[in-house]
Amino acid sequence: MKITFHGHSCVQVETDNASLIIDPFLSGNPVAKISADDVQVDAVLLTHGHGDHVGDAERIAKKNKAKIIAPFELATYMGWQGCDVHPMHIGGAHQFDFGRVKWTPAFHGSGYVVEEGQQIIYLGMPAGLLLTINDKTIYHAGDTALFSDMKLIGEQKKIDLAFLPIGDNFTMGPEDALLAAEWLQAKKVVPMHYNTFPLIEQDAQAFVHALKEKGIDGEVLNAGGQLTL
Protein backbone atom coordinates (compact mmCIF):
# COMPACT_ATOMS: atom_id res chain seq x y z
CA MET A 1 0.00 0.00 0.00
CA LYS A 2 1.51 3.33 -1.08
CA ILE A 3 0.82 6.46 0.97
CA THR A 4 1.45 9.89 -0.55
CA PHE A 5 1.27 13.16 1.38
CA HIS A 6 0.25 16.10 -0.81
CA GLY A 7 0.72 18.79 1.81
CA HIS A 8 -1.54 20.34 4.44
CA SER A 9 -3.88 17.44 5.35
CA CYS A 10 -4.21 15.78 1.95
CA VAL A 11 -3.28 12.11 1.94
CA GLN A 12 -3.61 9.64 -0.95
CA VAL A 13 -3.75 5.89 -0.36
CA GLU A 14 -3.13 3.50 -3.26
CA THR A 15 -3.47 -0.27 -3.26
CA ASP A 16 -3.45 -2.83 -6.06
CA ASN A 17 -7.22 -2.46 -6.31
CA ALA A 18 -8.09 1.12 -5.44
CA SER A 19 -6.95 4.69 -4.92
CA LEU A 20 -8.40 7.04 -2.29
CA ILE A 21 -7.74 10.65 -1.37
CA ILE A 22 -8.45 12.34 1.96
CA ASP A 23 -9.13 16.11 2.22
CA PRO A 24 -7.95 17.02 -1.31
CA PHE A 25 -6.91 20.65 -0.86
CA LEU A 26 -4.72 21.16 -3.94
CA SER A 27 -5.89 24.30 -5.78
CA GLY A 28 -4.72 27.22 -3.66
CA ASN A 29 -2.41 25.00 -1.63
CA PRO A 30 1.02 26.66 -1.98
CA VAL A 31 2.96 23.48 -1.19
CA ALA A 32 1.04 20.96 -3.35
CA LYS A 33 3.06 19.41 -6.19
CA ILE A 34 0.08 18.14 -8.18
CA SER A 35 -3.18 19.61 -9.47
CA ALA A 36 -6.69 18.25 -9.11
CA ASP A 37 -6.57 17.15 -12.75
CA ASP A 38 -3.64 14.85 -11.94
CA VAL A 39 -5.62 12.90 -9.36
CA GLN A 40 -7.06 9.49 -10.26
CA VAL A 41 -9.09 7.96 -7.45
CA ASP A 42 -12.05 5.72 -6.71
CA ALA A 43 -13.18 7.57 -3.58
CA VAL A 44 -12.78 10.93 -1.85
CA LEU A 45 -12.94 11.06 1.96
CA LEU A 46 -13.68 14.37 3.70
CA THR A 47 -13.19 14.96 7.42
CA HIS A 48 -15.05 18.30 7.63
CA GLY A 49 -16.44 21.19 5.65
CA HIS A 50 -13.67 23.80 5.71
CA GLY A 51 -12.35 24.97 2.36
CA ASP A 52 -8.79 23.83 3.07
CA HIS A 53 -10.06 20.26 3.42
CA VAL A 54 -12.98 19.98 1.00
CA GLY A 55 -10.74 21.71 -1.52
CA ASP A 56 -11.07 20.10 -4.96
CA ALA A 57 -13.37 17.28 -3.82
CA GLU A 58 -16.21 18.11 -6.21
CA ARG A 59 -13.91 18.49 -9.21
CA ILE A 60 -12.01 15.28 -8.46
CA ALA A 61 -15.13 13.25 -7.70
CA LYS A 62 -16.92 14.27 -10.89
CA LYS A 63 -13.84 13.82 -13.10
CA ASN A 64 -13.20 10.32 -11.76
CA LYS A 65 -16.83 9.33 -11.15
CA ALA A 66 -15.66 8.71 -7.61
CA LYS A 67 -17.81 8.51 -4.50
CA ILE A 68 -17.45 11.12 -1.76
CA ILE A 69 -17.54 9.61 1.73
CA ALA A 70 -18.14 12.14 4.50
CA PRO A 71 -20.12 12.95 7.65
CA PHE A 72 -23.83 13.21 6.91
CA GLU A 73 -24.36 16.96 6.59
CA LEU A 74 -21.27 17.46 4.47
CA ALA A 75 -22.12 14.45 2.30
CA THR A 76 -25.62 15.81 1.82
CA TYR A 77 -24.25 19.18 0.74
CA MET A 78 -21.84 17.55 -1.73
CA GLY A 79 -24.73 15.49 -3.07
CA TRP A 80 -26.60 18.72 -3.77
CA GLN A 81 -23.60 19.77 -5.87
CA GLY A 82 -24.18 16.71 -8.06
CA CYS A 83 -21.65 14.36 -6.50
CA ASP A 84 -22.15 10.67 -5.78
CA VAL A 85 -22.00 10.43 -1.99
CA HIS A 86 -22.02 7.96 0.88
CA PRO A 87 -23.06 9.69 4.13
CA MET A 88 -21.75 8.40 7.46
CA HIS A 89 -21.18 9.82 10.92
CA ILE A 90 -19.00 9.69 14.03
CA GLY A 91 -18.80 6.23 15.57
CA GLY A 92 -20.16 4.61 12.41
CA ALA A 93 -18.21 2.21 10.21
CA HIS A 94 -18.81 0.73 6.79
CA GLN A 95 -17.07 -1.92 4.72
CA PHE A 96 -16.42 -0.64 1.19
CA ASP A 97 -14.88 -2.60 -1.68
CA PHE A 98 -11.52 -0.96 -0.92
CA GLY A 99 -11.62 -1.42 2.87
CA ARG A 100 -13.30 -0.31 6.08
CA VAL A 101 -13.89 3.29 7.13
CA LYS A 102 -14.79 4.26 10.69
CA TRP A 103 -15.35 7.86 11.74
CA THR A 104 -13.91 9.16 15.00
CA PRO A 105 -14.53 12.37 16.96
CA ALA A 106 -12.61 15.55 16.23
CA PHE A 107 -12.89 18.82 18.16
CA HIS A 108 -12.99 21.60 15.59
CA GLY A 109 -15.60 23.28 13.35
CA SER A 110 -17.16 22.52 9.98
CA GLY A 111 -18.68 25.11 7.69
CA TYR A 112 -18.46 26.56 4.19
CA VAL A 113 -17.74 30.28 4.14
CA VAL A 114 -19.58 32.34 1.51
CA GLU A 115 -17.51 35.51 1.45
CA GLU A 116 -19.81 37.47 -0.89
CA GLY A 117 -22.86 37.05 1.31
CA GLN A 118 -20.97 36.98 4.60
CA GLN A 119 -22.56 33.63 5.39
CA ILE A 120 -21.37 30.36 6.84
CA ILE A 121 -23.14 27.17 5.76
CA TYR A 122 -23.06 24.75 8.69
CA LEU A 123 -21.87 21.33 7.57
CA GLY A 124 -22.21 19.19 10.67
CA MET A 125 -19.61 17.90 13.07
CA PRO A 126 -15.97 17.48 12.10
CA ALA A 127 -14.42 14.04 12.27
CA GLY A 128 -11.31 11.96 12.03
CA LEU A 129 -11.20 8.55 10.40
CA LEU A 130 -9.78 5.07 10.70
CA LEU A 131 -9.10 3.47 7.32
CA THR A 132 -8.40 -0.27 7.41
CA ILE A 133 -7.12 -1.99 4.27
CA ASN A 134 -5.43 -5.39 4.11
CA ASP A 135 -5.13 -5.60 7.90
CA LYS A 136 -3.36 -2.22 8.05
CA THR A 137 -5.00 0.75 9.75
CA ILE A 138 -4.37 4.44 9.05
CA TYR A 139 -5.67 7.10 11.44
CA HIS A 140 -6.25 10.54 9.92
CA ALA A 141 -7.17 12.83 12.79
CA GLY A 142 -8.62 15.60 10.63
CA ASP A 143 -8.43 19.02 12.25
CA THR A 144 -8.69 18.58 15.99
CA ALA A 145 -7.67 19.61 19.46
CA LEU A 146 -6.21 17.05 21.81
CA PHE A 147 -8.95 14.99 23.48
CA SER A 148 -8.68 12.16 25.97
CA ASP A 149 -10.70 9.67 23.91
CA MET A 150 -7.63 9.34 21.69
CA LYS A 151 -6.53 6.87 24.36
CA LEU A 152 -9.64 4.81 23.61
CA ILE A 153 -9.05 5.00 19.85
CA GLY A 154 -5.55 3.58 20.40
CA GLU A 155 -6.82 0.88 22.76
CA GLN A 156 -9.60 -0.26 20.43
CA LYS A 157 -7.57 -0.46 17.23
CA LYS A 158 -3.96 -1.22 16.45
CA ILE A 159 -2.89 1.79 14.37
CA ASP A 160 -0.10 1.30 11.88
CA LEU A 161 0.14 4.92 10.71
CA ALA A 162 -1.26 8.13 12.21
CA PHE A 163 -1.47 11.56 10.57
CA LEU A 164 -1.68 14.22 13.28
CA PRO A 165 -2.03 18.01 12.90
CA ILE A 166 0.74 20.02 14.57
CA GLY A 167 0.13 23.55 13.21
CA ASP A 168 -1.34 25.05 16.40
CA ASN A 169 -3.67 28.08 16.31
CA PHE A 170 -6.48 26.13 14.55
CA THR A 171 -5.56 22.61 15.75
CA MET A 172 -3.27 20.83 18.15
CA GLY A 173 0.25 22.20 18.37
CA PRO A 174 3.35 20.00 18.65
CA GLU A 175 3.13 19.52 22.43
CA ASP A 176 -0.46 18.28 22.34
CA ALA A 177 0.21 16.20 19.22
CA LEU A 178 3.09 14.52 21.06
CA LEU A 179 0.73 13.50 23.85
CA ALA A 180 -1.82 12.35 21.27
CA ALA A 181 0.84 10.13 19.69
CA GLU A 182 1.60 8.57 23.07
CA TRP A 183 -2.08 7.84 23.66
CA LEU A 184 -2.73 6.45 20.18
CA GLN A 185 0.27 4.07 20.29
CA ALA A 186 0.58 4.15 16.50
CA LYS A 187 3.54 2.36 14.95
CA LYS A 188 4.43 5.47 12.95
CA VAL A 189 3.33 9.10 13.16
CA VAL A 190 3.44 11.69 10.35
CA PRO A 191 2.76 15.37 11.10
CA MET A 192 0.30 17.31 8.94
CA HIS A 193 -1.54 20.66 8.82
CA TYR A 194 1.56 22.83 9.26
CA ASN A 195 3.68 25.26 7.16
CA THR A 196 0.98 25.73 4.52
CA PHE A 197 0.53 29.31 5.71
CA PRO A 198 2.60 31.55 8.03
CA LEU A 199 0.06 31.26 10.85
CA ILE A 200 0.69 27.51 11.21
CA GLU A 201 4.47 27.40 10.75
CA GLN A 202 6.12 24.65 12.80
CA ASP A 203 9.38 22.71 12.93
CA ALA A 204 8.25 19.25 11.88
CA GLN A 205 11.73 17.77 12.31
CA ALA A 206 11.77 18.93 15.92
CA PHE A 207 8.39 17.27 16.44
CA VAL A 208 9.67 13.99 14.98
CA HIS A 209 12.77 14.24 17.18
CA ALA A 210 10.50 14.64 20.23
CA LEU A 211 8.54 11.58 19.11
CA LYS A 212 11.71 9.52 18.90
CA GLU A 213 12.74 10.61 22.39
CA LYS A 214 9.47 9.03 23.53
CA GLY A 215 10.26 5.84 21.60
CA ILE A 216 7.73 6.61 18.84
CA ASP A 217 8.64 6.25 15.18
CA GLY A 218 7.97 9.49 13.34
CA GLU A 219 8.62 10.68 9.82
CA VAL A 220 8.33 14.03 8.06
CA LEU A 221 6.81 13.80 4.60
CA ASN A 222 7.17 16.84 2.41
CA ALA A 223 4.50 17.44 -0.24
CA GLY A 224 4.81 14.60 -2.72
CA GLY A 225 6.60 12.41 -0.15
CA GLN A 226 5.68 8.75 0.01
CA LEU A 227 5.95 5.74 2.27
CA THR A 228 4.93 2.11 1.96
CA LEU A 229 2.74 0.42 4.53
Residue 94: what pLDDT? 98
Chain centroid to CA 75: 16
14-26 pLDDT, tens digit per residue, is: 999 999 999 999 9
Give percent above pLDDT 90 in the chain.
99
Residue 144: what pLDDT? 98
Q: Which CATH architecture has domain 2-220?
A: 4-Layer Sandwich (3.60)
Q: How confident is the model at residue 138 (pLDDT cuts 50, 70, 90)?
A: very high
Residue 34: what pLDDT? 97
Q: How confident is the model at residue 225 (pLDDT cuts 50, 70, 90)?
A: very high
The mean pLDDT value for 146-164 works out to: 97
Q: Is the dihedral of CA 151, 223, 195, 75 positive or negative?
A: negative
Domain ranges in the chain?
2-220
57-97 pLDDT, tens digit per residue, is: 999 999 999 999 999 999 999 999 999 999 999 999 999 99
Averaged pLDDT of the chain: 97
